[in-house]
Copies of this chain bind each other. A is one copy, B any other.
Amino acid sequence: MDRIYMDHAATTPVRPEVIEAMLPAYKETFGNASSVYSWGREAQKALDDARAKTAAVLGAEFNEIIFTGGGSEADNLAIKGTAWKNRHKGKHIITSAVEHHAVLDTVKWLETQGFEATFLSVDEDGMLDPQQVRDAIREDTILITVMHGNNEMGSIMPVEEIADIAREKGVLFHTDAVQTVGSLPIDVKEMGMDMLSLSAHKFYGPKGVGALYVRKGVRLDSLIHGGAQERNRRAGTEDVPAIIGLAEALERADEERDKVIPEITRLRDRLLKGLETIPETRVNGHRKKRLPNNVNVCFRYIEGESLLLNLDMMGIAASSGSACTSGSLEPSHVLLAMGLSHEIAHGSLRLTLGRETTENEVDYVLEQVPAVVNRLREMSPLYHQ
């Protein structure tokens, strides 16, 4: 058995067709897209095409897409950009306790800059109740930012309902859709989004490139000041190859969705069911409203990093919210926010499937994980049969 990659929520390999699409922009269409001469116009055309494709897949307009240097930058731009721009209107921001650090740490940093924040708690399935959002809105609330699909335990948040509330109250709404774009159908207009972040390397595109959808009329300060690129909202020579790659990957993900996602979901369910048979195992995240490729469980009495290292020895690449994989002592803020105890939260395992995941791989994982869990439990001072 080859190595098995089950960490697609972390990153994905770039599709060969996407690399093919990108290569010409490294060598021939390499011009600065802002220039008047032919090389520049060619680059500009490639950029325009990529923007049109991206906008089309998301149901957005051409000028509503800002390309960024990744998902984290898109989140930072959305949150800091609107915070700074609306500073005179108010200083309160609402978010959830289970956001990705790109949102959470950004909001926390804004707290050091005179803003105030409310971090809404979630239920034991990791779900946020929209009513909580409504209750948290104050006179001076300027932004609500709640993620679409949770990168760790996979729950899909009721962002449409939150968007409705935000619109009703006249507050801007941003969603971090880094985990859903590419796997769930997204229509920003239908969903009522003001801003939405995505990151190409989560859907078989290149790393270091993302996008922020910004609804026409929503104004924000730049995060990166300088040249007039991206209609003055994101300075820096456009990374044309990467942007081409993003658009190509997004379009392909969109096209194959109906074929690929049901199959991933089926394998995901098999995997989840198999792992659940291990004693003292908790399934994390909502059972139904869940990212199609996400499996997240906690095995009591063991710690995540040693689990991952053991799986790696068996050729399986997986992830954990374990503290020891992040260099901190606290386990996953997401699992703790769902009410899990430290002990259980430390023993989390995330397996995220991809378009190239096979039945055989799932079988192999289902064979190895119980053995590894057993081995570590026998070594654990907390475990008593």
Residues of B within 8 A of A316 (CB): 37
Out of B72, B237, B309, which one reaches A236, CB within 8 Å? B72
Out of B23, B206, B226, B237, which one reaches A11, CB within 8 Å? B237
Judge whether A38 and B240 touch: CB under 8 Å: no
Stretch at the interface among A101-109, A280-288, A330-338: A101-109
Instruction: Count the copies.
Output: 2
Residues of B within 8 A of A318 (CB): 37
Asked if A271 CB lies within 8 Å of chain B CBs, one says no
Asked if A260 CB lies within 8 Å of chain B CBs, one says no
Residues of B within 8 A of A383 (CB): none
Instruction: Tell me which residues from 169 to 213 in chain A have a Cβ below 8 Å from any Cβ of chain B.
Output: 199, 201, 206-209
Asked if A16 CB lies within 8 Å of chain B CBs, one says yes
Task: Bits for A284-305, please: 1 = Cβ < 8 Å to B, else 0.
Answer: 0000000000000000000001
Given contacts A26-B19, A312-B37, contact A102 B11 (CB under 8 A): no
Asked if A217 CB lies within 8 Å of chain B CBs, one says no
- Min C-beta distance of A2 to chain B, whole Å: 12
Asked if A358 CB lies within 8 Å of chain B CBs, one says no
- Min C-beta distance of A10 to chain B, whole Å: 4
Range, interface on chain A = 35 or more
Given contacts A26-B19, A240-B207, A241-B206, contact A37 B7 (CB under 8 A): yes
Once the chains are docked, how many angstroms separate the CA of A328 from the CA of B154?
Answer: 47
Asked if A141 CB lies within 8 Å of chain B CBs, one says no
Query: Which residue of chain B has the shortest Cβ distance to A18 in the bound complex?
Result: B26
Judge whether B223 and A223 touch: CB under 8 Å: yes
Out of B27, B36, B102, B103, which one reaches A13, CB within 8 Å? B27
Given contacts A32-B7, A102-B236, A311-B37, contact A223 B226 (CB under 8 A): no
Residues of B within 8 A of A109 (CB): 221-222, 225
Once the chains are docked, how many angstroms separate the CA of A16 from the CA of B180?
Answer: 35
Judge whether B38 and A207 touch: CB under 8 Å: no
Given contacts A101-B226, A236-B71, contact A11 B26 (CB under 8 A): no
Judge whether B37 and A14 touch: CB under 8 Å: no
Once the chains are docked, how many angstroms separate the CA of A5 from the CA of B12?
Answer: 36
5 contacting pairs across A/B (C-beta < 8 A): A7-B31, A35-B325, A72-B226, A76-B224, A102-B235
Residues of B within 8 A of A222 (CB): 109
Judge whether B75 and A37 touch: CB under 8 Å: no
Query: Which residue of chain B has the shortest Cβ distance to A327 in the bound complex?
Result: B228
Residues of B within 8 A of A14 (CB): 26-27, 30
Residues of B within 8 A of A69 (CB): 68-70, 73, 208, 224, 236, 239
Asked if A50 CB lies within 8 Å of chain B CBs, one says no
Out of B7, B32, B36, B305, which one reaches A309, CB within 8 Å? B36
Judge whether B3 and A30 touch: CB under 8 Å: no
Asked if A308 CB lies within 8 Å of chain B CBs, one says yes
Residues of B within 8 A of A152 (CB): none
Judge whether B38 and A317 touch: CB under 8 Å: yes
- Min C-beta distance of A231 to chain B, whole Å: 10
Other than the given A11-B32, A72-B235, A207-B242, 19 more pairs (CB < 8 A) read: A3-B39, A10-B35, A11-B237, A26-B206, A34-B325, A36-B305, A36-B312, A37-B316, A39-B317, A40-B317, A68-B69, A69-B70, A70-B239, A101-B225, A101-B235, A106-B226, A207-B239, A209-B239, A223-B224
